[in-house]
Amino acid sequence: MSEVVTTTPGLYPLPDWAKDELSDLKGHQKADLIDGTEGEAIEDAYGRVRSEYVDRQQSAGLDRIVEGQGRWDDMIAHPLAVADAVDTRGIVRYYDNNNFYREPVVTGDLAATGDVAAELDAASEQVDAGLQAVLPGPYSLADLATDEHYGDDAAFLDAISEFLIEEIAEFPDVETLFLLEPSLVENPPGDGADERASEAIDAVAAAADADVVAHTYWGALDEKVYAHLMDADVDAIGFDFVADHEDNVYNISEYGTKDDIALGIVDGQNTLVEEPETIAERIEWVDDNTPSTDFETIYATINTETFYLPVNKYEAKLDALAAVNKEVISA
Amino acid sequence: MTREQFRPENHPNDHFLLTTVVGSYKKPKWLDRARELLEDEDASFDEDDWEEAADDAARLITEEHERSGLDAVVDGEMRRNEMVEYFAHLIEGYEFNGRVKVWGHNYFDKPSVVENVEYGQEWLVDEFEFTDSVAERPVKVPITGPYTLASWSFNEVYDDDEALAYDLADLVNEEIERLVDAGAKYIQIDEPALATTPDDHAIVGNCLDRIVENVPEDVRIGLHVCYGDYSRIYPEMLDYPVDEYDLELCNGNYEQLDVFTEHEFTKDLALGVVDVHVAEVEPVAEIKENIKKGFEIVPPEQLTVSPDCGLKLLPREVAYGKMENMVQAAREVEEELDAGEIDVGLAAPTSD
C-alpha cells in the first residue's frame, strides 16, 4: 500500500507581471541579477511572487508546497551566487538547455548565508503543513561552480557539502527536502568521484530534519553511479521517467531502491499538458514494472524545474498533477 | 561559381573578396516605439502605419549598409522581432503561450507546435522585394533554418524534433522557391542551434537536402553557424548542399582555425573578421590580419568577409564603423593580393 504525495522540484517561472516589474527594477545585465543585497522594492516584489506561488500550489491542492525559488536568477547555482567569497562571472550555458546562468567562482572560504532559510521562513507564514525545501545537491552545485580556492575536486566537494549543511542548519521546520542532482546524469562522476558524490549527498541529507529526496533528471543514472547513490542514506531517490523510463526501471530492478521513491512523470519542459489519468497511468506503469519493490511513499512530481514553461502551462501542470486520483494507485 | 555575380561593375581590384554581413542590425529607437504603439490597443497606430515605419527603417539600414561599401547587403532584419518568433507567427500549427526565461530577466516568447506545421502567410518575399527595390547592391536574405526553428520551440505533436525539423524544412524550401521567383540570388540559412547539439549534424544535412530541392544552381546558399565546437561538425558538414559556410571565429580568437586545415575546405568560407561582442571598432590593420587567417583555410577565390554574427547588439555607430573598416580592410588585402604581396597559406602566389 503506497501513499502518493504530489509535489514539484520548484524553480517556477516568474508570473508575467513580475517579469516586467522585476526587470524594470533590476535591469537586464548580469550585474543586475540577485546577489542577496536587494533593496526594499525588489524584496517586496519577490514577497508577492512567493505569496502567489504558495497560493497557486494550495489552490491546486498539491501535498507539498515549495517556496517557488522566484529569486533564483542563476537557477540551482543560486545558493553560491549570493554567498561571500564567490564571484559571479561570465554567462555560461545551463546544462544542455538554451538557458544561461552566471558562473559562480569560489575564491575563498565558503560560509552559509541563510538566504534560502530566509525564503523558507517567509513561505512558512503561509504554509501550515507540507512545506518542502529545495536545494542543489552537493555534486551538482560543485559541478556548476568553479573552484579557485580549495585546490582539488574532493576538497571542493567537501566544502560545498559543508556549506549546504550550514545552510540547512538555519532552515525552519520543513517536511521534505529535495536535493536536485541533474549533474549526476548530465556530467556523471567517474571512478572514485562517484563514491565521493554519494558520501557528499549522505552528509548533506543527514543534516536535514526532514525526509530527503535526491532527485535526478534529464535521463537515467549510469549503473555504477546509481549503485553508489544507493549507499547514501536518503529517504528516496528521484527518477526522470519522462526522459528515460527503461534505464530507470533497469536500475531499480537491478539495484533496488529506497523505501520511498520520487517519480518525475510530468514533463517540465514541454507545453503539452498531461491529463491526470495519464499521470496516474505513468505511476502505475512504474509500480507494475518494478515488481520486486513495494514503495511506502511515492512522490509524484514534475521531472525538472518549471521555469522553462510559460506561466499558463506550468499552472495547468500543477493542477493536473494535484488532480491525480491517488486511490487508483495506492489500491 | 555563384560568387562572381556579386562583383560590382566598378570593383577596383582583380581579386574579389565578397564582403557582406550576417543580417541583424540595431533597430532605430523610433522603430521600437512604433512597435510598442502597434501593440498598444489604445493607440490609433495601425498595421499600415507599422508597415510604413518598417519600410523607412529597412530603407535607412539598407542604405547604411551600402554606404559602408558592402558588396551584398541586408535590411538589418528591421521587420523581424526575433529569429524564431517571427517565423512561428507566420507558420500554421504554432501557438504562443507567453514568455520563458533565457537568462536573468531576458525572455523569449517560445512558441509551441500544436498541430502539423503548414505554410501559412508569406514570410520574406515582401521584405526582399522592398529591400531589393531600394538597394543598388545585391541583397542577401537570411532565413532561420528548420533545425533551429524546431529546437527552439515546444514540440507537442511530432514524435521528435527531427520529424518536426523535416516538415519545417519543406516549408523553408517553399519560401526559398518564392524568393527565387522574386529574384533573390543569395540566401543564408541560420542554424545557431546546431552549435549546441552538434551530434545532430546529420539531421541538419537532411534538412538542407530538402531546402535546396529545385533551387537553381546560380542561387548562392550559405549556412550560418555560431559559437560552437566546430571539430564536432567538420569535415562532415562539407557534404551539405550549400555554397558557403559563414562561421564565427573572431570571438574565439581563431583558436579553432586548425579544425579546418586538416581536411581541404572544399566550399566557400565566410569568415567572421570582426567581433560582435566587443563594442570597439577594430582598426583596419587588425581586420586585415584576421582576413589573412582565412587564407590558411581557403584561397582568395573562396573567401567571403563578414562579421562573426548579427550586429544587432551593438550601438549603430559602432556597427557601422566595423562594416566600414571591414570593407576597407578587404579592399586593401585585395590590392596586396593583386600585387602578389601576400604569401600566407593558400594565398601565396606559388599555390596557384
DSSP string, B315-328: -HHHHHHHHHHHHH
Higher-pLDDT residue of B165, B279: B165
Q: Mean pLDDT across the stretch B22-36? A: 94
Tell how many helices (H) and how many strands (E) occur in chain B.
10, 12
Report chain A residues whose CB lies below 8 A from the CB of B193: 98
Name which of A16, A20, A99, A10 is nearest A54 in CA terms.
A10
- Chain A residue at shortest CA distance from B108: A310
- Chain A residue at shortest CA distance from B109: A310
pLDDT tens string for chain A (331 positions)?
Answer: 789 999 999 999 999 999 999 999 998 888 889 999 999 999 999 999 999 999 999 999 999 999 999 999 999 999 999 999 999 988 888 998 889 999 999 999 999 999 999 999 999 999 999 999 999 999 999 999 999 999 999 999 999 999 999 999 999 999 999 999 999 999 999 999 999 999 999 999 999 999 999 999 999 999 999 999 999 999 999 999 999 999 999 999 999 999 999 999 999 999 999 999 999 999 999 999 998 888 999 999 999 999 999 999 999 999 999 999 887 666 5
CA distance B242 to chain A (A): 26
Identity of the amino acid at B200: D
Class of domain A22-260 as given by CATH: alpha beta
Q: Which of A19, A99, A308 sits opposite B103 (nearest CB)?
A: A99
- Chain A residue at shortest CA distance from B148: A98
Percent of chain B at pLDDT exceeding 90: 85
Name which of A129, A139, A194 is nearest A164 in CA terms.
A139
Q: How far is CA A117 from CA A31, A164, A228, B338, in A?
A: 24, 11, 29, 70
Q: How far is CA A255 from CA A28, A179, A226, A230, A247, in A?
A: 47, 21, 8, 8, 12
What values do phi and psi take at A204, rounded to 5? -65, -45
Length of chain A (residues): 331
Greatest CA span in chain A, whole angstroms?
55
Q: Which of B104, B112, B151 sits opposite A271 (nearest CB)?
A: B112
- Residues B223-258 as b or e (16 or more Cβ within 10 Å = b): bbbbebebeebbeebeebebbbbbbbbbbbebebbe
For residue A331, give every residue at least 6 positions away whose Cβ sits within 8 Å of its Cβ, in sequence order, or none: none
Which DSSP string corresponds to B21-86?
Answer: --S--PPPHHHHHHHHHHH-TTS---HHHHHHHHHHHHHHHHHHHHHTT-SSB--TTTT-SSTTHH
Place of cell 539600414: B61
Tell how many helices (H) and how many strands (E) occur in chain A.
13, 11
What the block records as the C-alpha cell of B71 is 558588396
Across all residues in chain B, what is the average pLDDT?
94
How far, in Å, CA of B2 to CA of B140, rounded? 13
- Chain A residue at shortest CA distance from B228: A93
Identity of the amino acid at A281: E
Name which of A179, A188, A94, A96 is nearest A144 in CA terms.
A94
Report chain B residues whose CB lies below 8 A from the CB of A14: 101
Interface of B with A (CB under 8 A): 97-107, 110, 112, 151-152, 154-156, 193, 196-197
How far, in Å, CA of A221 to CA of A238, rounded? 11
CB-CB under 8 Å, B98 with A27: no
How far, in Å, CA of A289 to CA of A252, rounded? 10
Greatest CA span in chain B, whole angstroms?
69
Asked if residue B264 has pLDDT above 70, the reply is yes
What the block records as the C-alpha cell of A242 is 519522462
What the block records as the C-alpha cell of A10 is 520548484
For residue A297, what are the β-bridge partners?
A: A3
Which CATH topology does B71-346 take? Answer: TIM Barrel (3.20.20)
How far, in Å, CA of B180 to CA of B176, rounded? 6
Cis? peptide before B235, omega within 30° of 0: yes
CB-CB under 8 Å, B152 with A98: yes
Report chain A residues whose CB lies below 8 A from the CB of B197: 96
- Chain A residue at shortest CA distance from B193: A98
Q: Which of B98, B103, B105 sits opposite A312 (nearest CB)?
A: B98
ipTM of this predicted complex?
A: 0.94
- Would you state the pLDDT for residue B10? 94
Interface of A with B (CB under 8 A): 13-14, 16, 19, 22-23, 26-30, 32-33, 73, 91, 93-94, 96, 98-101, 269-272, 307-313
Name which of B306, B268, B316, B328 is nearest B142 in CA terms.
B306
**Interface mutation target, options A98, A274, A311, A314, chain B, most CBs of B under 10 Å:** A98
A325 by DSSP, 3-state: which?
A: coil
For residue B246, what are the β-bridge partners?
A: B224, B270
- Chain B residue at shortest CA distance from A70: B104
How far, in Å, CA of B7 to CA of B18, rounded? 7
Would strands A297-302 and A3-7 be described as parallel, antiparallel, or unpaired? parallel
Q: Which of A22, A269, A313 sits opposite B97 (nearest CB)?
A: A313
CB-CB under 8 Å, A22 with B105: yes
- Contact predicate A299/A251, CB 8 Å: no
Counting one residue from A and one from B, how many pairs have CB atoms under 8 Å apart?
A: 65
**pLDDT tens by residue, B39-59:** 898 999 999 999 999 999 999
The H or E element that residue B271 is part of is strand B268-272
**pLDDT tens by residue, B135-161:** 999 999 999 999 999 999 999 999 999
Residue B345 DSSP symbol: G
For residue A187, give every residue at least 6 positions away whose Cβ sits within 8 Å of its Cβ, in sequence order, or none: A143
- Contact predicate B62/B79, CB 8 Å: no
CB-CB under 8 Å, B154 with A13: no
The separation between the first and the last C-alpha atoms of chain A, rounded to the nearest angstrom, is 7
CA distance B111 to chain A (A): 9
- Contact predicate A122/A53, CB 8 Å: no
Sheet strands (E) in chain A = 3-7, 65-66, 86-93, 100-106, 131-136, 146-147, 176-180, 211-215, 236-240, 260-266, 297-302
- Would you state the pLDDT for residue B248? 86
For chain B, domain boundaries: 71-346
CA distance B343 to chain A (A): 38
How far, in Å, CA of B104 to CA of B119, rounded? 34
What the block records as the C-alpha cell of A164 is 549546504
How many C-beta neighbours within 10 Å does residue B339 have?
Answer: 12
For residue A66, give every residue at least 6 positions away whose Cβ sits within 8 Å of its Cβ, in sequence order, or none: A7, A8, A9, A10, A12, A53, A57, A123, A132, A133, A134, A178
How far, in Å, CA of A114 to CA of B54, rounded? 51
pTM across the whole model: 0.90
Is the CA virtual torsion B160, B163, B164, B169 positive or negative? Answer: positive
- Would you state the pLDDT for residue B316? 94
CB-CB under 8 Å, A271 with B104: no
Phi-psi group of A27: left, alpha or beta (phi > 0 → left; psi -120 to 50 → alpha; rest → beta): left
- Would you state the pLDDT for residue B349? 75
The H or E element that residue B225 is part of is strand B220-225
CB-CB under 8 Å, A307 with B98: no
> What confidence tier does B23 reach under pLDDT thresholds 50, 70, 90?
very high
Name which of B227, B165, B216 is nearest B187 in CA terms.
B216
